[in-house]
Amino acid sequence: MTDAAFALSLRGVTKQFGSTVALDGAQFDVRAGTLHALLGENGAGKTTLMRLAFGMLRPDAGTIEAGGTARHWRSSADAIAAGIGMVHQHFLLVPAMTVAENVSLGDRGLFRGFDPRVAADRVRRIGAETGLVLDPAARVADLPVGAQQRLEIIKALARDAKILILDEPTAVLSSAESQELYSWLRSFVTRGCTAVLITHKVREALAIADDVTVLRRGRAVLSGRPRELAESAVIAAMIGSAATDEVQLPAAGSTAGVSVISLQHVSMTDGRGVHRLRDVSMEVCAGEIVGIAGVEGSGQHELLRVLAGRLAPDGGGVRLPARIGFVPEDRLRDALIPTMTLVENLALKEAGSARGSVRWTSYEARALGTIRKHDVHTSGVCSLASALSGGNQQKFVLGRELEGSPDALVVENPTRGLDIRATSLVLAELRSARASGVAVAMYSSDLDEVLSIADRMIVCFDGRATDTPVEADAVARALLGLS
């Protein structure tokens, strides 16, 4: 049974990792020449399903068809040869190499020459054909995230990919960059190619996709065209009918208290002499959430670290409280040590200032208190941080940083990579911190999210920070440097 109308078709696929069933007879058909959104919560099996399609994993049961032919990939090299390309959520780029070198990776031949000029021409040609323009000689380490993603797509196109799989491509993009990506994908499928978009952003998926499939617990539970599907039905399918989380509105008219963090004419230059912050003055007051927005590389990264006391500016005045909690964007790199237990991760917070022997029993009690108070699902305080799901890791980090009621809390993209339920729990934590008088500064690359929770907005553009009304149009203009 083959169907040439499907560019990609996975039927009855099952995949187990140890005792965990990642896919349980999932069915996934992608019509040729369409943009197909694959929706689902974290752990629903989206990425596993697409790794099967890309030959990175082999199914325990079920069949894979591409271009109407049954396929038994031995490795992703087979899938690449059949015209499938995948852009991974965590980019697979060599930072020390140039754009052209990264594109040429995976060419074959022990003594086949690699000519940088030919490779550069290839990058330029793809740029001219597809509008994805990058400087071939640029080092990947110097590229902003949006450009790195463009490079991942160029890499796939250089292998003549006709089916492009993108895993959570907008997780790291600003809304403007996301729109750019979506319109590019539209033109890609208009040329007869096919794209699969793994995402958990329901609204975006329904707005841009031709077809939508919802995965839940390793099964395809809903599939159809966006205009035939109600948004609430899709959300219900994703999280199960038991709970529908509604977006909570910000507590209206919350009154801010005394100024807790204050920056006066702060400026900062990075190691390469680029101005990151220019004459930034701002305050964060007790009992308010200051939302921060900015296109990648506009200075928000540095601003948050100055607010959290992690970076000292070159010039200007900074007044910080004694106790500040900080939740960095990359929790597994900057907030937790994955191979240590929760107790150890909690103790680490004070490892720089504590003296003498470690009183583990007291840390254990505190860790237990943290996981209870913040509803962290885990088998115990002695389980490794890596054993927790992303949402529970984030709740634990938040709980740790909020322990002992700090004066201020600085959070960066706190819901990155989290599903709907975990997202709403994290946002609820931030609201309750505000209610208890903590001065909160929050950056999110998801504009709707930050607008839904912020009492005030500050927008970064080219190292400057501007007060902006809490309103989508005004923020969008400020993001582009218009005011």
Partner 1 sequence: MNGGPFTAFLEAGVRTATPLAYAALGELVVERAGVINIGLEGAIIGGAFGALVFAGAGGVSLGFAGAALAGILVAALFALFVVTLRTDQIITGTAMSMLGLGLTGTLYRTMYGSAGASLHTPTIAPAPVPGLSAIPVIGPALFDQPVVTYALYALVPALAWWFYRSVAGLALRAVGEHPEAARGAGISPDRVQWAALLFGGAMGGIGGGTLVLAQVGTFAEGMSAGRGFIAIAIVVLGRWTPFGVAGAALLFGAASALQTLAQTTGWAMPYQLPLAFPYVLTLVLLASARARTAAPAALGQRSA
d(CA 251, CA 290): 14
- 116 or 224, CB closer to partner 1? 116
Q: How near is the Cβ of 81 to partner 1 at its closest, in Å?
A: 8
**Which residue, chain included where needed, has tokens 């490794």?**
384
In sequence order, what DSSP letters do the residues of 276-302 get, joined into one string? EEEEEEEEEETT-EEEEEE-TTSSHHH
- 88 or 374, CB closer to partner 1? 88
Instruction: Give the E-state strand segments of 289-393 in sequence order.
Output: 289-294, 315-319, 324-327
AA letter at 354: A
- Whole-number CA gyration radius for the chain: 24
**Which residue, chain included where needed, has tokens 């903590």?**
438
According to DSSP, the residues that pair with 467 across neighbouring strands are 458
- 92 or 354, CB closer to partner 1? 92
- 94 or 137, CB closer to partner 1? 94
Locate 138 and state its tokens: 């640029």
AA letter at 40: G
Element (H, E) at 175: helix 175-190
d(CA 414, CA 411): 6
* Residue 336 CB coordination number (10 Å): 23
- 84 or 214, CB closer to partner 1? 84
Residue 206, SS3 per DSSP: helix
Contact call for residues 431 and 251 (beta carbons, < 8 A): yes
- 73 or 182, CB closer to partner 1? 73
d(CA 160, CA 127): 14
Q: How near is the Cβ of 115 to partner 1 at its closest, in Å?
A: 7
Residues of the shown chain interacting with partner 1 in the complex, contacts defined by CB under 8 A: 75-77, 80, 86, 88, 91-97, 101-102, 104-115, 155
d(CA 320, CA 455): 20
- 152 or 412, CB closer to partner 1? 152
Q: How near is the Cβ of 465 to partner 1 at its closest, in Å?
A: 32
Q: How near is the Cβ of 430 to partner 1 at its closest, in Å?
A: 33
Q: How near is the Cβ of 158 to partner 1 at its closest, in Å?
A: 10
- 91 or 184, CB closer to partner 1? 91
Q: How near is the Cβ of 330 to partner 1 at its closest, in Å?
A: 16
- 103 or 447, CB closer to partner 1? 103
- What is the DSSP code (8-state) at residue 98? B
> HSE on the CB side for 305, CA within 13 Å?
15
Q: How near is the Cβ of 16 to partner 1 at its closest, in Å?
A: 19
6-17 β-sheet, strand order: 20-31, 6-17, 61-66, 69-71
Q: How near is the Cβ of 91 to partner 1 at its closest, in Å?
A: 8
Q: How near is the Cβ of 299 to partner 1 at its closest, in Å?
A: 25
